[in-house]
């Protein structure tokens, strides 16, 4: 399987007709046969598409049943489907047919597929970290009470484990080689069980050293990634990294691992003191990213078994990832205009300076420094009343989802506001995803535009999705983001408002007049 993230699979019902009964010369009632296709949205660890031969397991239960095997319908337990590279899932021998009498069914699905499942219990062991794609366990149980009259069943999968990533960056001029680097994570639980019927994960009791893959990105950068069991604590864990024959250690502070989260630590290697100093940052993925508080990676003292770690290192916001901490990136914004009152509710106004794209300098002054405006996004004529932001890409321009822009807040209080509105015009082979950050700048509300052909009101979603297409027919289309329920929680400094683009498709799209009211 490929790459860690949330995905959706579409069960498309097609009708399989039975033959005529010669005895009474009648035709039997059609029955709906379930067929699987998939929509992959930044789903796995290494890539963002399925590989031919990837396998998923499906359990079909009588509606309302929460027990395997007692609640299984028609023996359809752990039915295996196989993926093609184009995202289509095919049967491997067993069909799933809706009941002829119209009885309802519940669907449970998971990946990666296993044969040794007893009573609906999926055993998890993450000690072998050599191929993370084989450990990325995803699960779906949202499709309930479906019958032959509703053959289209949308299965939404969630990540049920967590991922930890340490980025090693060598300071320029430091004489440290990342060749043949090694890493071991010790004193961490490595087993768990997952009840497919109830969706409950239970951490095990076994712990073992995990030998990790160190992926060298360049002479000055390497990445260490691992899958972790939710519900366990990093309190007793120790990371040991060997660079140039010297062993370094890092001990995080207490942190309870949560499902679906990606924990990121960025380290700077080669300080004057000979330490590997930890600088905490974060990166944007379709996972819920969280920074880990910790200390420094320090050289092992041959005469002392103590790790020598220094807990509580400050967060300097120097991470290499895509999403900075709100406090890290606020610059001097916090003192520009403190205490600015919120405008009158119901009165539309620009969400931020330059949001009408008439003042390019004002707009660019608010961009987070680590996210300059990409070359495919330009201020151009053809806006609603003047200029607009023009997004123009080929299928090869953007190889993975990326920010078009990420705006800093300047003490704008949105309490009492109801909606953020903007306009788009043009076409796109995929859609857009918009982030409205909450106070602190680490968490955000996500709005996925999906298919757009006319005016549309959008509510928050759980994860980024770029599926769908945009074709406004040459007209300006209004997009409204419903922020009424959380307007008072929206960040006023740091990460504030951002728009992301999909990948590997052509965009020819204008964005204009981003307002709030």
Residue 417 sits in a domain whose CATH number is 2.60.120.260
Q: Which residue range forms the structural domain that includes residue 435?
A: 333-516
Are 147 and 183 in the same domain? no
What SS3 class is residue 489? Answer: helix
Residue 40: which of 80, 77, 4, 87 has the closest Cα?
A: 87
Are 381 and 482 in the same domain? yes
Q: Which of 299, 318, 347 is the C-terminal boundary of a domain?
A: 299
Write out the chain's pLDDT in tens, 517 residues: 444 444 444 444 433 333 333 333 333 445 565 655 544 434 455 544 556 777 889 999 999 998 999 999 999 999 997 766 555 567 787 888 889 899 999 999 898 999 999 999 999 999 999 998 889 898 888 888 988 887 776 777 788 999 888 888 887 777 788 898 999 999 899 999 999 999 999 999 888 999 999 999 998 889 999 999 998 888 788 888 888 888 888 777 667 888 888 888 877 776 544 444 433 332 223 455 555 543 345 455 443 333 333 222 323 333 333 333 333 333 333 333 333 333 334 468 999 999 999 999 889 989 988 788 999 999 999 899 889 999 999 888 888 889 999 999 888 899 999 999 999 999 999 999 999 999 876 788 999 999 999 999 999 998 888 888 999 999 999 999 999 999 999 998 888 999 999 988 899 999 999 999 9
Residue 512: which of 362, 340, 391 has the closest Cα?
A: 391
Q: Which of 299, 322, 342 is the C-terminal boundary of a domain?
A: 299
Structural contact between residues 225 and 213, judged by C-beta atoms closer than 8 angstroms: yes
pTM of the model as a whole: 0.53
Check residue 169 and give its pLDDT.
Answer: 81
Are 373 and 457 in the same domain? yes
Domain count of the fold of the chain: 3
CA 250-255-259 angle, 5° bins: 115
φ, ψ of residue 236 in degrees (nearest 5) = -100, 0
Is residue 124, in this structure, part of any structural domain at all?
A: yes
Are 147 and 112 in the same domain? yes
Check residue 428 and give its pLDDT.
Answer: 92
Check residue 143 and give its pLDDT.
Answer: 84
**Residue 241: which CATH number?**
2.60.40.2630
CA distance 375 to 41: 24
Are 106 and 247 in the same domain? no
Are 227 and 339 in the same domain? no
Q: Which of 281, 299, 317 is the C-terminal boundary of a domain?
A: 299
* Peptide bond connecting 112 to the previous residue in cis, omega within 30 degrees of 0: yes
What SS3 class is residue 97? Answer: strand
Is residue 35, in this structure, part of any structural domain at all?
A: yes
Are 151 and 64 in the same domain? yes
Q: Which residues, 6+ apart, have CB-to-CB distance to 225 below 8 Å?
A: 45, 132, 163, 164, 165, 166, 212, 213, 215
Check residue 304 and give its pLDDT.
Answer: 38
Structural contact between residues 384 and 476, judged by C-beta atoms closer than 8 angstroms: yes
Are 150 and 183 in the same domain? no
Are 371 and 474 in the same domain? yes
Is residue 322, in this structure, part of any structural domain at all?
A: no
Check residue 443 and give its pLDDT.
Answer: 84
| Beta strands per DSSP E along 112-245 | 121-125, 138-140, 153-159, 162-170, 182-186, 191-195, 200-203, 210-212, 214-218, 221-228, 238-243
Are 249 and 369 in the same domain? no
Long-range pairs for 232-239: beta carbons < 8 A, 24 or more residues apart:
232/188, 232/189, 232/203, 232/256, 232/257, 233/257, 234/188, 234/292, 236/187, 236/188, 237/185, 237/186, 237/187, 237/188, 238/185, 238/186, 238/187, 238/307, 239/166, 239/183, 239/184, 239/185, 239/186, 239/297
């Amino acid at each position: 399987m490929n790459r860690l993230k949330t995905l959706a699979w579409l069960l498309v019902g097609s009708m399989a007709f039975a033959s005529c009964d010669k005895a009474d010369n009648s035709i039997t009632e059609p029955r709906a046969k379930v067929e699987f296709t998939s929509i992959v949205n930044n789903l796995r660890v290494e890539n963002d598409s399925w590989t031919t031969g990837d396998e998923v397991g499906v359990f079909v239960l009588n509606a309302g049943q929460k027990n395997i095997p007692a609640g299984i319908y028609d023996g359809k337990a752990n039915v295996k489907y196989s993926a093609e590279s184009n995202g289509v899932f095919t049967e491997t021998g067993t069909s799933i047919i809706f009941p002829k009498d119209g009885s309802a069914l519940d669907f449970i699905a998971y990946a990666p597929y296993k044969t040794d499942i007893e009573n609906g219990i999926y055993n998890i062991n993450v000690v072998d970290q050599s191929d993370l794609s084989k450990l990325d366990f995803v699960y779906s149980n949202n499709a309930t009470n479906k019958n032959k009259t509703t053959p289209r069943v949308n299965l939404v999968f969630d990540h049920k484990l967590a991922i930890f990533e340490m980025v090693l960056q060598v300071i320029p001029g430091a004489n440290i080689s990342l060749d043949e680097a090694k890493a071991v994570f010790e004193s961490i639980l490595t087993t768990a069980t997952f009840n497919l019927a109830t969706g409950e994960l239970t951490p095990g009791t076994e712990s073992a050293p995990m030998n990790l893959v160190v992926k060298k990105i360049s002479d000055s950068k390497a990445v260490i990634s691992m899958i972790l069991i939710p519900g366990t604590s990093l309190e007793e864990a120790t990371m040991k990294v060997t660079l140039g024959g010297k062993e370094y250690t890092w001990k995080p502070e207490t942190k309870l691992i949560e499902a679906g989260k990606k924990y990121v630590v960025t380290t700077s290697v080669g300080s004057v003191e000979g330490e590997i100093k930890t600088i905490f940052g974060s990166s944007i993925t379709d996972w819920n990213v969280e920074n880990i508080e910790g200390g420094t990676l320090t050289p092992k003292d041959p005469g002392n078994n103590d790790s020598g770690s220094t807990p509580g290192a400050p967060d300097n916001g120097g991470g290499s990832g895509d999403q900075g901490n709100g406090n890290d990136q606020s610059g001097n914004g916090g003192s520009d205009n403190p205490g600015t009152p919120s405008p009158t509710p119901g009165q539309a106004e620009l969400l931020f300076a330059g949001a009408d794209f008439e003042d390019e300098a004002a707009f660019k002054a608010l961009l987070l420094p680590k996210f300059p405006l990409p070359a495919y996004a330009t201020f151009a004529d053809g806006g609603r009343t003047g200029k607009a932001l023009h997004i123009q890409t080929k299928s090869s321009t953007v190889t993975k989802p990326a920010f078009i822009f990420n705006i800093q807040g300047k003490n704008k209080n949105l309490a009492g506001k109801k909606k953020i509105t903007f306009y788009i015009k043009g076409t796109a082979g995929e859609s857009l995803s918009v982030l409205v950050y909450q106070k602190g700048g680490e968490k955000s509300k996500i709005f996925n535009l999906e298919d757009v052909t006319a005016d549309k009101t959008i509510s928050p979603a759980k994860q980024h999705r770029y599926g769908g297409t945009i074709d406004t027919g040459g007209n300006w289309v209004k997009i409204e983001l419903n922020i009424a329920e959380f307007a008072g929680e929206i960040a006023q400094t740091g990460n504030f408002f951002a728009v992301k683009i999909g990948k590997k498709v052509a965009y020819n799209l204008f964005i204009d007049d981003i307002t709030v009211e």
